[in-house]
Amino acid sequence: MQMQPLADAIRPQTLDEVAGQKHLLGQGAMLRRIIESGTATNLIFYGPSGTGKTTVAGIIAKRTNKTLYHLNATTASLQDVKNIMADVGTMVAPNGALLYLDEIQYFNKKQQQSLLEYMENGKITLVASTTENPYFYVYNALLSRSTVFEFKPLTAEEAVPAVVRALGIVQQQSALPLSWEEEVPLTIATGCGGDVRKAVNAVELLSRAAKPVDGKLLLTREDALQVAQHSAMRYDRAGDDHYDLLSALQKSIRGSDPDAAVYYLGRLLVAGDLLSPCRRLLVIASEDIGLAYPQAMAITKACVDAAVQLGLPEARLPLAEAAVLLATAPKSNSSHNAIIAAMQDIEKGRVGDIPRHLKNVHADSAGSERPQAYKYPHVYPKHYVKQRYLPESLGDTTYYEYADNKTEQAAKHYWDLIKGGGE
């Protein structure tokens, strides 16, 4: 007789049993009120894996007395949806169907549009889930006909009850007396980053790997650590977690916090991602440190080159050096602001004619050359002479503003003296 998978065996049957999500399912919360009313409405659940999205969809189906169908958009097609429609109104689905469509972001625009007709005739209630931001990946017309609820990552403490329930089930199923050290539930929940699905799988693996001692099985904290040690660090390199970590790295460096910088760098490296932090550190050197410490770019480039050549795990050393250097360096985004402002003007159509004296000497037709009147700065005192460089139509537009750091203020003082005619 085949045993029921542990993840299914511990799946909550009521809203009160769902781990975490009190902002959605606590007493008086909006989603709970919708579910308890028995109203069939189209929903989109957004959040990380293992946070209860599938479980809640199942509870909604029971509450609305609809037949639950589960499709995954990575493998499903519209024909699968049509097959479900054929069941509606029959003995298979007499009260209508609730379609739980997992990973809806993998349906293209045409496929998502095709769902609308099935939603609008009321025979199918759609509950879609996604680990990506639905406002970027879900078609607008489908979004407008649905209500979006965000499922938050669980804390380790919120996941512990599910782990304890899973341990209780494997204890009942075990052929030998089974027990565990007191720290095991929290160790598993912490190591799996609050992902209940991963935590339950860890319990199952831990119980199968337990060694009998004197006819008994003891699950130890040490074994639990080995089972769960990398689970919390895995992430989809094409998904939101990836970009959230890179964003956190940059914002920590911008905020001059070296501890947070090496922490988020470490998260990326433990997940085996080397190239993304290399690229982001180079961006930070220009965008956030910039002219306050121009050498930061050269040093960061050297660290990145060394990291790529070394590979992991040694690459962590030069990358940590770059991250700490950038976090503790003075900051300036003056050059960043200057190029953004200039490009915005260009995109708005502020594209004037290049002054004649700046054009290539071959701009005129052969035999009809005109004097350029270009003044060569190097033949003038202090290598400077006043002349116009911006197009006439831009007037005296200023894009670059000297920031208040030592390096840029020294440059400002230098040019104020020269351009102002001082000594």
Query: In this predicted structure, which of 2-11, 15-24, 181-190, 363-372 has the lowest mean pLDDT?
Result: 363-372
Domain of 53: which CATH number? 3.40.50.300
CB 76 within 8 A of CB 102: no
Q: Which amino acid is at 241?
A: D
List the domain range (segments joined by +) for residue 356.
334-361+372-419
Q: Which of 101, 124, 150 is the last residue of a domain?
A: 150
Give CA separation, 22 vs 40, 222, 285, 390, in Å: 21, 32, 41, 58
3-class DSSP state for residue 312? coil
User: Taking 60 as the threshold, does the pLDDT of residue 367 lie above it?
Assistant: no
Coil vs helix vs strand at 123 = coil
CB–CB of 323/258 below 8 Å? yes
Identify the top-confidence range among 11-25, 206-220, 379-393: 379-393
Among 169, 200, 233, give the residue marking a domain's end.
233
Residue 169 within a domain: yes
**Looking at the structure, do residues 250 and 343 belong to the same domain, yes or no?**
no
Looking at the structure, tell me whether residues 387 and 352 fall in a common domain. yes
Is residue 9 situated within a structural domain? Answer: no
Query: Under 8 Å CB-to-CB from 43, ≥6 apart: which residues?
Result: 60, 126, 127, 128, 146, 147, 148, 149
pLDDT in tens, 170-194: 888 888 888 888 888 888 888 777 6
In a domain, 6, yes or no: no
Angle at the Cα of 423 from the Cα atoms of 377 and 406, rounded to 5 degrees: 85
Q: Are residues 31 and 125 in the same domain?
A: yes
Query: Distance of CA 275 to CAs 67, 132, 272, 314, Å?
Result: 46, 22, 9, 14
Q: Nearest 5 degrees, angle CA 263-CA 269-CA 275?
A: 120
Residues 316 and 338 grouped into a single domain: no
Tell whether 26 and 122 lie within a shared domain: yes
Q: Domain with 184 in it: what CATH number?
A: 1.10.8
**Judgement on whether residues 138 and 25 belong to the same structural domain of the protein:** yes
| DSSP states along 189-225 | HHHTTT-HHHHHHHHHHHHHHPPEETTEEEE-HHHHH
Q: Distances from the Cα of 319 to the Cαs of 232, 254, 272, in angstroms?
A: 22, 16, 14
Contacts of 227 by beta carbon, 8 Å cutoff, 6+ apart? 188, 191, 202, 205, 206, 209
CB distance 252 to 281 below 8 Å? no
Quick one: pLDDT band at residue 1, thresholds 50, 70, 90? very low
Q: Quick: pLDDT tens for 136-165.
A: 888 888 888 888 999 888 888 888 888 888
Which of 262, 278, 269, 267 lies closest to 244, judged by CA?
267
Coil, strand or helix at 101: strand
pLDDT of residue 237: 54
- Range name among 10-24, 109-123, 233-247 with the lowest pLDDT average: 233-247
Side chain identity at residue 132, one-letter code: E
**Does 213 map to a domain?**
yes
Tell whether 50 is covered by a domain: yes
- 352 in the same domain as 268: no
Tell me what pLDDT residue 366 has: 54
Contacts for 177 with CB less than 8 Å, ≥ 6 apart: 215, 216, 217
SS3 label, residue 162: helix
- Same domain for 206 and 99, yes or no, is no
- Bridge partner list, 219: 180
- What's the CA gap between 283 and 318, in Å, rounded? 16
What pLDDT shows up at residue 404? 93
| Residue 66 amino acid letter | K
In a domain, 93, yes or no: yes
364 token code pair = 């005129």
Average pLDDT over residues 89-99: 76
Query: What pLDDT sits at residue 398?
Result: 92
Q: Is the peptide bond before 134 cis (omega within 30 degrees of 0)?
A: no
What's the burial of 341, exposed, middle or buried (CB within 10 Å: 0-12/13-18/19+)?
A: middle
* Pair (199, 129) in one structural domain: no
The answer to whether residues 45 and 129 belong to one domain is yes
Query: Is-contact 35 60, C-beta < 8 A?
Result: yes
Residue 366 domain-assigned (yes or no) = no
Q: Is there a single domain that holds both residue 197 and residue 287?
A: no
Q: What six digits make up the tokens of 62? A: 């029971």
Determine, yes or no, domain membership for 7.
no
Task: Report residue 367: phi and psi, to 5°.
Answer: 90, -10
Question: Domain end: 233, 259, 292, which one?
Answer: 233
Identify whether residues 291 and 267 lie together within a single domain: yes
- Our count of domains for the chain comes to 4
Express as a percent the part of the chain with pLDDT over 70: 91
Distance CA 39, CA 362 (A): 75
Q: How confident is the model at residue 335 (pLDDT cuts 50, 70, 90)?
A: very high
Residue 384 C-beta-side C-alpha neighbours within 13 Å? 11
In the predicted model, is pLDDT for residue 65 greater than 80?
A: yes
